[in-house]
Amino acid sequence: MSNGNDQLAYVLINPYTIYKSRTGGVIGRLFTRTALELVAARMFAPSRELAEEYASVVVTAKDPDNRRIQMLIRQYILDNYAPHPQTGQRRRVMMLVFRGEDAAKKIRAAVGQIEPGRTVAGETIRDTYGDFILTPDNEVRYFEPAVLAARSAEEVEGRLRIWAKYSDTDGGLLEGVVRYPKDTKPQQTLVLLKPDNFRFASARPGSIVDLISRTGLFIIAIKVHHMSVEDAQEFYGPVREVLPGVYAGITGPRAKAALEKEFGFALPDGSEKALGKMIAPLAAEHQFNRIVNFMTGHTSDAEAAGDPGKMVALVYEGVDAVAKIRNVLGATDPRKAAPGTIRRELGQDIMVNAAHASDTAENARREMNIINIRENNLKPLVESFYKRKP
């Protein structure tokens, strides 16, 4: 096990919570209530084998919850995590893994307990998104814990090892999991929550996911990602090609005005074209390098952040996914974005603008390949963190 109080802790966002688009609210609570570092994230479509193995370890003598609650959670996993017994349809589960001092305790405090008759409203994730309803005869009428988490570092280790074991076969990019009406042609598109969302613990990542939920699209992949310089240059290659044209009409007039002010005399008409032709390529390359530096964390501002260059990649699926995401994201320049869009609400400028989204289905596939969205970061993290010395 790890030394000291540096721990991993996990949260499993339940299928019903995801279905009801409560994922963003849960993520926001976890960031703001714990201030822990998000180190891994993965979507799962659990097999019956995974659901049964996980269910088998949730009932323990050390758990302060009464045996009735433990048994309810065990049955909940078997009923809601395993594939549908009649149709075989798999359910989507999101795993988030956090790291930090006393992580297990902090996560459990944010998640909350399951208690019948609890009168506090909204204090914890389960207060807000969970339900435990009994009949007058004390029988369970409805039970929805919203999320699942372990209580201690020891429990976290054992349960993370189970999920890591199935992370290749049951997790990753969940294709064919969501069922659509006949003749429906869903698209997949990529969203990157940019590094400016992770400078400090805040509700920003959850707010973005919550705003995207209005599209009715389905999350089918999630990954914590650090982009290399090489990958950033490839990722933004199409932007690099158009930037000189963008700056051609901007730099010339600005340079002309600056020179006239500096030297105190007017330059001849048409000189802005010559200046633009000379300066635009330099300005475009400078801006491209700024984008690469920002996305990879290779700037002084980014290095002041808690985890420079970190971002979260999500893949959304559904009808007209590309257009729907672009619409809720808003214009590249937050000042020109429509009210209520992500960039208007959370963006700062054309580079620090909260999120990226693919502009075509073809680009989505290209971008997903560049960041290797299928990569399994969970398994090596668990194996490395819990590696026992001989």
SS3 184: coil
Q: 153-165 and 378-385 helices cross at what angle (nearest 10)?
A: 140
Instruction: Tell me the C-alpha distance between 256 and 251, whole Å.
Output: 8
Can you give the C-alpha Rg of the chain in angstroms? Answer: 24
Is 357:189 a contact under the CB 8 Å cutoff? yes
User: Which residues are bridge partners to 130 per DSSP?
Assistant: none
Q: Is residue 356 annotated as a catalytic residue, yes or no?
A: yes
Q: What residue type is assigned to position 370 of the chain?
A: I
Sign of CA pseudo-dihedral 42, 48, 51, 54: negative
Q: Which among 84, 225, 286, 356 is annotated as catalytic?
A: 356
Q: Which residues, 6+ apart, have CB-to-CB distance to 317 below 8 Å?
A: 178, 186, 187, 188, 189, 217, 218, 220
Q: Backbone dihedral region of 46: left (phi > 0), alpha (psi from -120 to 50 degrees) or beta?
A: beta
List residues with catalytic annotation: 356
